[in-house]
Structure 1
């Protein structure tokens, strides 16, 4: 399979150094305007909340983002610029850069604007109360995920090649998978001495190589010369949801099982074995209390879902929060006990689906459990049913990578299945996860070149049927 052509409006990534700040912003603005004229979509529908009048950069810095135009997620404060936190009712002009933005500048980024985000980053879909949300370039009927959906859509549309994003429950990996891009949540520290923090800062980039560059990870010198394996890697695989008893769409399950098998052809992989869910599904209720507790201070006004999450947090007693905190602290050890205790030995990477079905239709979550109902508890359960694996890697702080098996350009109008490669503890690095993903995509591309009908087994046409997942119980054979 030949490499796909650049997406419409694709940004350049020659990395030759900074240009004039105003000129850089003007180039992105022009790219956005031309794409808007061609598609009939607004900037917000293309993932862009606003373009700054001038780029923010520190020309003294020569980090991995040097020479790249980067959008900042609209949850983060850039000094002198408006931040809305995904809600027009909370727009403020930041006095100073926040910690995440300071880090971006230190890494050499040229900050050119803000990307659309879900309100307060609280959901895995993005449907603003005022105005349109980002439109999925694969199929405009499909949700583009959340909460970093603007970042994913802007990159997928070629407005920028890299966008800042954050991931507190899948918010990098879910929207990346929704639009057919890779998404890496880096390893991060969950325990900061207080309430556990499941969120990591990161990026969404247009391909695996640029993802590696954005994170400052040394990549391959060429596709034919991967890093030398340092030891045999042991893979685990499951399609069984960790956090619900709902089903997985059969094509997704079959494609993930095939991907796990294909990874055995990587020279560093010694084998793959089944793994079970590492804890009872009921335990997710305990872990979700930490997320609710982190929402206790969300301000008014807020729409239904953030308001419900805030109330869930406020209803928790100090004892319940303390118990949930202790459970999250113990979680990595509990998982290692479960997975390492298998008779076939421990595993280094666990392969699961990223999403349980193709992105559902716009409104599928907010209307749960039915078209005439607005039940935030059912909304939360539906979000969990769609993404019943990713949060484990937020709660442990272990690295996780979502990777589409094929490029959306290989099967226009069809959604490519993404699998999740989850590190177990610190046994593998992000570089090793990326190399496994490279191998998987290259192997799949050769299969498609040999037989184009393979695409039918790893892509899906039309939005996912969320109701079917929720109504059908999970099966042990998946």
Structure 2
């Protein structure tokens, strides 16, 4: 009998579509795992048990052709609208439920997915650690004393622990890749504009994207094929692409892979375990037939483009909440510190992003894929930014975003790919960065790595369940 704690999206859809299991059984089992595991992890901000059960029953009675996500339980990051739920952005400043689903949630439902709940995040996703005054700390399923990263840490904990097979996160500076690396998941930040942000025109201006965190490359690809594409309101649009699932199922061919462990920012040194992971992955890619060599990416400094957009994103979201006075102290401090980011400054930062992108992409004149660490440090203990202000929290975030944030500024697709467990018992990930609109090559190469070096899955959270 299939263990649904570790069943993939593809396997779940096969079971529900062939009639081996009903969507109700799949969803009810997921809800049972959430009830058992979540009290020790704090992955969910709200669980939609009654509605999810009803949706699954209705889906099982439907006589239509099963969709590509038929009966798959999915968790949604707190910043994304789900009809009937308050979009809290990880805090207490909103109190009115959303009237309608965000476009990507509507696409998931149309494909047969069942939304089981919304996942925790730090307020407005400002930091790469999922903790705050409102929601408390979210814990890493591999070691509950450690952070799962962030800001999509709730989604990562839910997927890594086996509560759900896949969940939706967002990435404005590494927030899909960072928790994927810390929780042993595959997380692809798509090309800017690949997935609609409707009903919003953008997510943190040019920085933010949304997408799945998954246990397999194919699972992420299946979800992307459902949610990718734009609406008329989207400020950004990616270039044309083919089927992501097809890309995940085909060989990548012989690629030029450049690797580097040099961080983008100054003052950050990668953990030796992460340097070793990159070097080992480079050797593996060589044995797989690729042209692999160490390179100097000559990174541009993204600070002048990133920082104003970060402040502009926080300020625009803070201005839109119903109860500004209920925002966390650190968020209100960040709002005040960003008062210099006027609309004119934001537009300047967007133009600066274009210059950064042009310089960053020069590395792809000589290579097809860039290999780096995903993050610089091992997952810290929970509470890393507890009680700290904006400046201290930002400094503590630097090791997490040192390799990731540049590619939000540039817009390129980038993925964190698991490469096993370190001696501390926690996962290690490496980052693969592709050229503009290069998701397909990243998916093909990641799937090849997955097949050559399968990564371990966690069926239950240590210290919480078997």
- TM-score bracket for this pair, using the shorter chain length: 0.7 to 0.9
**Out of 347, 354, 370, which is 1:329 matched to?**
354
The residue aligned with 1:399 is: 413
Q: Confirm or deny that 1:106 pairs with 2:131.
A: no
Unaligned runs of 5+ in 1: 368-373, 449-478
**Out of 28, 31, 40, which is 1:29 matched to?**
31
> 2:205, 2:309 within 8 Å by CA — same for their partners in 1?
yes
Matches within 5 A, 1:426-441: 426=437, 428=438, 430-441=439-450
* Structure 1 vs Structure 2 CA RMSD: 3.2
User: How far apart in 1 are the matches of 2:252 and 2:203?
Assistant: 38
Unaligned runs of 5+ in 2: 226-243, 457-466
The residue aligned with 1:142 is: 146
Q: CA deviation at 1:131?
A: 4.8
**Out of 201, 205, 224, which is 2:210 matched to?**
201
> 1:49, 1:115 within 8 Å by CA — same for their partners in 2?
yes
User: How far apart in 2 are the matches of 1:413 and 1:6?
Assistant: 27
Which deviations, in whole Å up to 9, do the C-alpha atoms of 1:232-285 show, x marking residues without a partner? 421121111113332111121122122123212334x233231234214xx414
Describe the SS at the equivalent of 1:218.
helix
User: How far apart in 2 are the matches of 1:261 and 1:44?
Assistant: 36
Change (3 A) 1:31 1:140: closer
> 2:257, 2:293 within 8 Å by CA — same for their partners in 1?
yes
Q: CA deviation at 1:86?
A: 1.1
Q: Confirm or deny that 1:173 pairs with 2:177.
A: yes
User: How far apart in 2 are the matches of 1:350 and 1:308?
Assistant: 37
Which deviations, in whole Å up to 9, do the C-alpha atoms of 1:176-216 show, x marking residues without a partner? 11111111111122997998332112111122232222223
Higher relative contact order (CA 8 A, sep 6+): 2
**Out of 47, 51, 54, which is 2:51 matched to?**
54
The residue aligned with 1:128 is: 132
**Out of 342, 345, 363, which is 1:320 matched to?**
345
Describe the SS at the equivalent of 2:124.
helix
Q: CA deviation at 1:98?
A: 2.1
TM score, norm. by length of structure 2: 0.79
> 2:48, 2:115 within 8 Å by CA — same for their partners in 1?
no
Change (3 A) 1:92 1:265: farther
Q: Confirm or deny that 1:161 pairs with 2:165.
A: yes
Describe the SS at the equivalent of 1:405.
strand
User: How far apart in 2 are the matches of 1:7 and 1:22?
Assistant: 13
**Out of 372, 391, 399, which is 1:385 matched to?**
399
Matches within 5 A, 1:367-386: 374-386=388-400
Which deviations, in whole Å up to 9, do the C-alpha atoms of 1:394-415 show, x marking residues without a partner? 2222111101102x5xx79611
User: How far apart in 1 are the matches of 2:375 and 2:309?
Assistant: 23
User: How far apart in 1 are the matches of 2:104 and 2:96?
Assistant: 17
Change (3 A) 1:117 1:361: same
Give the paired residue count. 414
Change (3 A) 1:359 1:209: same
> 1:47, 1:149 within 8 Å by CA — same for their partners in 2?
no
The residue aligned with 1:256 is: 278
Q: Confirm or deny that 1:416 pairs with 2:420.
A: no
Describe the SS at the equivalent of 1:42.
helix
Q: CA deviation at 1:143?
A: 0.9
The residue aligned with 1:75 is: 79
**Out of 189, 196, 218, which is 2:245 matched to?**
218
Q: Confirm or deny that 1:364 pairs with 2:384.
A: yes
Describe the SS at the equivalent of 2:137.
coil
Q: Confirm or deny that 1:240 pairs with 2:262.
A: yes
User: How far apart in 2 are the matches of 1:378 and 1:323?
Assistant: 26
Q: Confirm or deny that 1:290 pairs with 2:309.
A: yes
Change (3 A) 1:82 1:143: same
